[in-house]
Amino acid sequence: MTEMVRKKLGILISGRGSNMASLVEASRAAECPYEVVLVASDQPDAPGLAWAEAQGIATFAQSPRGMPKPEYESRIDAALREAGVEAIALAGYMRLLSDDFVARWRGRIVNIHPSLLPKYKGLDTHARALAMGDADAGCSVHIVTEELDGGEILGQATVRIEARDTAETLAERVLREEHRLYPRVMTEWIKQLPR
């Protein structure tokens, strides 16, 4: 029986990286088809970087301050390629990727977004769902394309909105679903990626 060759995943974060941590935890299962080889951030003091380092995962940080976007992205790109990354997961990465960066990694970048896309692309998704009187909120994992939050949806999880919900309480419940959804979708999606 041949041993499964796991695909190399890079994760981009900007903060605490709780979705990154859920992907890392899932990768520890023997049957998981991916391994996390690099966690990179635009925020050198992002708490998620320290967590990843403590897990023995390579990290890379590059602040974009005072740097043209193409130069900043070329540094991130070089770090990902040097680590042998085959696919990228955005996990609370708060910078918009340029069309050039997306094109270089076409079909190999996924993102988790805190709404039931195509509803509420962009920011403030929970407040917007409450303001519209929606019965449900949730999260979506999608392929990253040049269109903001517009790529093919790979999976979703729904969270019932309760009468007492605030944007903060709703965000907490949606985040718990994100932690379940992202590793599950990643496991299925990354299997079908060509090497």
Q: Minimal CA–CA distance to 73: which of 44, 102, 94? A: 102
Please list, residue by residue across 129-145, b when 16 or more beta carbons sit within 10 angstroms of its beta carbon and e when fewer do: beeeebeebbbbbbbbb
Distance CA 49, CA 154 (A): 27
Active-site hit among 113, 126, 142, 179:
113
> Where is 154: in which H helix or E strand?
strand 153-160
* Catalytic residue check, 113: yes
Query: DSSP assignment, residue 43?
Result: -
Give me the torsion for CA of 13, 25, 38, 171, rounded to 10°. Answer: -10
Please list, residue by residue across 66-77, b when 16 or more beta carbons sit within 10 angstroms of its beta carbon and e when fewer do: eeeeeebbbebb
1: CB partners within 8 A, 6+ apart:
none
Distance CA 175, CA 38 (A): 23
The residues carrying an active-site annotation are 113
